[in-house]
Chain A
């Protein structure tokens, strides 16, 4: 079996699956059970400064959206950082790390935006034997109202400043956790890099209201008829997270900055995708909160099987492999032509491809009296909507029209040469070649 061991900022773990800073890592009891279940590491739930701990609401902390069969697709929370005393957390971190020296134990931190606060907390964390710290600049609810969390993460100058303080006050590796509640994720990543961060982790949760109570006209999760936006996570946010990870990995200014990928990792495949887009490891929360710690076993076996099948010897050998293929729209090959193909053997005749294409796309699928569905090459623009709405995986596929063949839609022969928007005659910005 493939070697799943990873070394992230010099922190070793038996596999790339870490539990993200969140309720599953709030105390020793959970973390020990997580390690017994096989998790490679944890980021301990965010510690605040010494003193009376924060308090949490006493009503619902979570809201959710669901897919078919009430599969949880997206989870939102309004829980704050740890509400347990700092000293208790520190003792427990020390105790766990001592018993699990082969696992990664990183501690998430969130203290006020003054250097003294960071000077105070970093040494006591270091004393626990923890492997590193993660600066929580992402939490979008509650703490941000107090000038912490995403209130810092949304201002690149603050990120750089606080990151620098942290680096100056500890020998531990420093990971900066980024908020996605920002228009260009590259800016905070660049700021973290400039401040000396050893890595960034992303994404933290997204501002969200999961639903509205239509009897009381209040957002959910609702506390006594009122609601506040929470942080959204789970499978639904994965596409956003993947895109943001890729943006940082592609950015020449941060291309060498290690990334810990977070956002909706639920299966081994999700993890492999983050890794392919440049993440050195992944952090998981919602999957564990939905199914329990045992889910990591599928992630481990699945990633291993895939690596074996593909001949990938180590996780490190896969990191970033998809980054060179992340491009811009203007660079996509306009001479690449494909058409939908419906496998009649696999088709169950539900007709959803037809409804989708006929009503909302290009009228490129015919339906016969006996419910045979076929693609009209004259009309098919290869939009892929039929593939996406078909309930049977791989029943509809996209087949390339090879160069030299005629595209029935345009009547033109598909050309061999690469041609994109930058060279297209319709492009008003086209600068004639000299």
Chain B
């Protein structure tokens, strides 16, 4: 192999195949039975447990852990799926350190929470590996619901609607389902094609028709969906990416972090992926961290995350930041991009130093250059579907039940206003919107009858 981490420019094959395989293996290897029992034993079965309150999908965590402890992981999985049909993926990608595990009383008492996320994975893996789908479809209601977007929100909504007996058609612009689970998260968080396996497993409920490569605004329109279906749920996510508004953004080597991550997730051979010797990721969220860490794991020599605000404002959790730095990623705070340098191809990014005065981000006038062959932009995504819906701060305005400003249209997940842009939040919103769609459709039925 000719290339190494020292090779200049943007090249493929910086690392040996076995090193790459190791780098992109499971971030947290699954617990074996013994480890799961030991971990489960630590749960105190708290009353009205803080972990459960902290979970956006309100999974009954003490109950499922007790079910693991008593040797009934399948029952534990059912407890999880009752609230969160994507409990398998959430077990892998949830920032548990800022949700359930942060408030675990054993975190409070000893600084060591019960490892809820890993226990959830243990239980859901057991059930899913057995190929068992613990839900059955209800009696057909004769109602038809369109779900736009096969990401976490859409899938959660579709499953719940199908379970309640509605006929669901899921439309997605991509050629396969999963949304950000499939295209948007770091590879080491979801290995062995889990995202697709989860979609297949979820669809076992029946009553869900998948229509891929159907993009809202192109192949389908909101009007046509409303005409064809009794209700529409939008879980389209945020398809666009914010521009840097820095000079030289069009130079070669500059791209959107989400595209880089997506390409990496879909790659058959990681050794064929190109990566710069020096990489700068601009942004402060999970996407920035995922892009930076994976750049490093692909063999980039110097990887820097540059964030315009300070550490306390960073969207990525402390755990994610530590993960990044432990992999050798440098995080530079208070760095606002001014200009991408280079003659055709990027060679570096010029930043100006900022500081925070009473909540206002200000330039200090100091500038500095970080060399970069690749510049990944991870400064937030934007909604690409407006379709006459009321928007606020670039997102679709929804009620607590997910109702949009247009009757018959619900929305949830990243495209909808409110809640964190997390998989687990999207699942909760999709599920809850489904319940409201069900109540609305069946309520009408009752009135008409």
Chain A residues packing against B (C-beta within 8 Å): 68-70, 348-352, 354-355, 367, 371, 391-392
* Known A70-B38, A352-B44; 19 more pairs at CB < 8 Å: A68-B41, A69-B38, A70-B41, A348-B108, A349-B46, A349-B108, A350-B44, A350-B46, A351-B46, A351-B47, A352-B45, A352-B46, A354-B47, A355-B47, A367-B47, A367-B48, A371-B48, A391-B44, A392-B109
Closest Cβ of chain A: how far from B292's Cβ, in Å? 36
A349 touches B41 (CB 8 A): no
Does residue B251 face the partner (Cβ distance < 8 Å to A)? no
Interface digits, B283-321 against A, CB 8 Å rule (1 contact, 0 not)?
Answer: 000000000000000000000000000000000000000
Closest Cβ of chain A: how far from B42's Cβ, in Å? 8
Closest Cβ of chain B: how far from A373's Cβ, in Å? 9
Closest Cβ of chain A: how far from B41's Cβ, in Å? 5
Question: CB-CB < 8 A to A351: which residues of B?
Answer: 46-49
Option from B37, B38, B45, B105 in Cβ contact (under 8 Å) with A349: B105
Interface digits, B101-126 against A, CB 8 Å rule (1 contact, 0 not)?
Answer: 00001101100000000000000000
B47 touches A348 (CB 8 A): no
B47 touches A350 (CB 8 A): yes
A118 to B29, CA, bound (A): 64
A367 to B49, CA, bound (A): 12
A348 touches B38 (CB 8 A): no
A351 to B48, CA, bound (A): 7
Does residue B342 face the partner (Cβ distance < 8 Å to A)? no
Does residue B50 face the partner (Cβ distance < 8 Å to A)? yes
Question: CB-CB < 8 A to A70: which residues of B?
Answer: 37-38, 41
A350 to B45, CA, bound (A): 8
Option from A69, A348, A355, A367 in Cβ contact (under 8 Å) with B105: A348
A348 to B51, CA, bound (A): 13
Closest Cβ of chain A: how far from B108's Cβ, in Å? 5
Question: CB-CB < 8 A to A391: which residues of B?
Answer: 44, 109
Question: CB-CB < 8 A to B38: which residues of A?
Answer: 69-70
A348 touches B106 (CB 8 A): yes
- How many inter-chain residue pairs (CB < 8 Å) link A and B? 36
A391 to B76, CA, bound (A): 24
A371 touches B109 (CB 8 A): no
Question: CB-CB < 8 A to B109: which residues of A?
Answer: 348, 391-392
Q: Which residue of A lies closest to B69 (CB)?
A: A68
Q: Which residue of A lies closest to B49 (CB)?
A: A351
Q: Which residue of A lies closest to B38 (CB)?
A: A69
Question: CB-CB < 8 A to B44: which residues of A?
Answer: 350, 352, 391
Closest Cβ of chain A: how far from B119's Cβ, in Å? 15
A68 to B65, CA, bound (A): 13
Closest Cβ of chain B: how far from A204's Cβ, in Å? 31
Task: List residues 77-135 of chain B with CB under 8 A from any CB of chain A.
Answer: 105-106, 108-109
Question: CB-CB < 8 A to B105: which residues of A?
Answer: 348-350
Q: Which residue of B lies closest to A69 (CB)?
A: B41
Closest Cβ of chain A: how far from B113's Cβ, in Å? 11
Pick the 8 closest A-B CB pairs, nearest first. Answer: A351-B47, A355-B47, A348-B109, A350-B46, A348-B105, A350-B105, A68-B41, A350-B44
Question: CB-CB < 8 A to B41: which residues of A?
Answer: 68-70
- 23 pairs from A and B in contact (CB 8 Å cutoff): A68-B41, A70-B41, A348-B105, A348-B106, A348-B108, A348-B109, A349-B46, A349-B50, A349-B105, A349-B108, A350-B44, A350-B47, A351-B46, A351-B47, A352-B44, A352-B45, A354-B47, A355-B47, A367-B48, A371-B48, A371-B50, A391-B44, A392-B109
Question: CB-CB < 8 A to A354: which residues of B?
Answer: 47
A70 to B50, CA, bound (A): 26
A173 to B69, CA, bound (A): 50
A355 to B47, CA, bound (A): 6
A349 to B108, CA, bound (A): 9
Closest Cβ of chain B: how far from A355's Cβ, in Å? 4
Task: List residues 23-50 of chain B with CB under 8 A from any CB of chain A.
Answer: 37-38, 41-42, 44-50
Question: CB-CB < 8 A to A348: which residues of B?
Answer: 105-106, 108-109
A236 to B258, CA, bound (A): 58
Closest Cβ of chain A: how far from B401's Cβ, in Å? 24
A68 to B43, CA, bound (A): 10
Question: CB-CB < 8 A to B46: which residues of A?
Answer: 349-352
Question: CB-CB < 8 A to B106: which residues of A?
Answer: 348
Closest Cβ of chain A: how far from B202's Cβ, in Å? 33
A68 to B108, CA, bound (A): 20
Closest Cβ of chain B: how far from A207's Cβ, in Å? 26
A237 to B227, CA, bound (A): 73
Q: Which residue of B lies closest to A351 (CB)?
A: B47
Task: List residues 141-189 of chain B with CB under 8 A from any CB of chain A.
Answer: none
A70 to B46, CA, bound (A): 20
Q: Which residue of A lies closest to B48 (CB)?
A: A351
Closest Cβ of chain B: how far from A201's Cβ, in Å? 35
A69 to B48, CA, bound (A): 24
Question: CB-CB < 8 A to B45: which residues of A?
Answer: 352
Interface centre among A350, A351, A371 (most CB of B within 10 A): A350
A392 to B105, CA, bound (A): 11
Q: Which residue of B lies closest to A395 (CB)?
A: B109
A354 to B41, CA, bound (A): 21
Closest Cβ of chain A: how far from B74's Cβ, in Å? 16
A391 to B105, CA, bound (A): 10
Closest Cβ of chain A: how far from B116's Cβ, in Å? 14
